[in-house]
Amino acid sequence: MTDWVEGRVIEVIRWSEQLFSLRVEADLAPYEAGQFTRLALLLPSADAPSGVERVAHAYSFVNPPNAGFHEFYIVLIPGGRLTPHLHRLAVGDTLQLARQASGFLTLNELPAGRDLWMLSTGTAIGPFLSILAEGAVADRFEQMVLVHGVRWGAELSYQSLIHELMARWPGRLHYVPFVTREAWPEGLAGRIPAAILDGRLEQAVGLSLQPELSQVMLCGNPAMVKASLDALQSRGLSKHLRRAPGQVSMENYW
Ligand code: NAP
C-alpha cells in the first residue's frame, strides 16, 4: 500500500500557459536522480462513499536528491483529472506525495560507456536534469548529450539550469533542442527519431552512436520512445535489460 505524506508548495514556476514546475517540501524516503514519485490531491467525487477521492499521477524529480526540496515539471492537460488542480496550486498549498520513489532510469542501472545520450520530449526532460544536476554522471561518462524535443520554442524550459550545467563541464555536455512546429534558429527541425535515422543528430553533436561507446536513455512521449528505439536498433544498438545488457534504457512518460 502506498504510504502518502503531505507536502507543501514552496514555489511555483510558470514557464508558459501550460507548463509549470512545483517545488515542494515533504519528508520523503531517499531517492535516486532519475526516479519518480506520485503526486496526489483529494478531490470531490460523487462516486466515493466519503465524498472525496485521491487522484494521483507519477512525476519524476527534476531536482538532484540533495536539493532540500522536491521539484516536478508538469504540463497542464486541459480537461484532465489532476493537472488542472495542480496548475491552480499556489505557495503554501498542500498536496500528497508517495513517500517511496520508484523507477529504473538511473545512473546505477546503466552499463559502462563513453558517451551518454539522454533523449527526451516535453516534460520528460525532468529526470535527465536531475541526473545531470546530481553530477555523478560526469564521473561515469566522458561525453553527455541532452536532447529535448518540443512543439514550440517557448517550451524549451530550464534554459538557465542547462546553461549552468554546460558551463560546469565545458565541451562535455552537448545540448540539442528539437522544435517541431515552428522554425527555431537554435534548434534542429523535425522529430528526434528521424534525425537519428538520417544522421542529423550525430552531426549536430559531433559524436557517433555506436554500440561499443554509446549508452542511450529515452524518456518521453511513448511514440517517440518506440520510434527512437527502432531507429537505434537499426544502428546496431539494443535494448538494455538487467539479464541482457544493451545500450538503450527507456521510460514511457505516460
Ligand atoms: P508531445 O506530443 O509529446 O510533443 C513533444 C514533442 O514530441 C513534439 O516535438 C512532438 O512532435 C514530438 N513527438 C510526438 N510524437 C512523436 C513521435 N512519434 N516520434 C517522435 N517525436 C514525437 O506533447 P507535449 O507538448 O510534451 O505535451 C502535449 C500533450 O501530451 C499534453 O497536453 C498531454 O495530452 C500529453 N502528455 C501527457 C502526459 C501525462 O502524464 N499524461 C505527460 C506529458 C504529455 P510533433 O510536434 O511533430 O508532434
Tens digit of each residue's pLDDT (9 = 90 or more) over 21-43: 999 999 999 999 999 999 999 99
Up-side HSE of residue 134: CA atoms within 13 Å toward CB? 24
Atom of ligand 1 nearest to the CA of 194: 20
Edge to edge, the sheet with strand 36-44 lists 52-60, 36-44, 94-98, 4-14, 19-25, 70-75
- Burial pattern 95-116, b for ≥16 Cβ within 10 A else e, equals bbbbbebebebbbeebeebebb
Which residues, including other chains, have CB under 8 Å from residue 171's CB and lie 6 or more apart?
none
Up-side HSE of residue 150: CA atoms within 13 Å toward CB? 22
Helices 159-168 & 126-134, crossing angle to 10 degrees? 30
The pLDDT score that the predictor gives to residue 92 is 98
Q: What is the mean pLDDT of each run of 10 residues along the chain (254 residues)?
A: 97 98 98 98 93 97 98 98 98 98 97 98 98 98 98 98 98 98 96 98 98 98 98 98 96 89
CA of 223 to the centre of ligand 1 (A): 8
CA of 51 to the centre of ligand 1 (A): 34
Nearest CA to ligand 1 atom 16: 224
| Spatial separation of the C-alpha atoms in residues 88 and 101, rounded to whole Å | 24
Edge to edge, the sheet with strand 188-189 lists 188-189, 173-179, 143-150, 115-121, 214-220, 248-252
| Spatial separation of the C-alpha atoms in residues 241 and 202, rounded to whole Å | 25
Pocket test for ligand 1, best of 18, 20, 121 (most atoms within 8 A of CB): 121
pTM of the predicted structure, to 2 decimals: 0.97
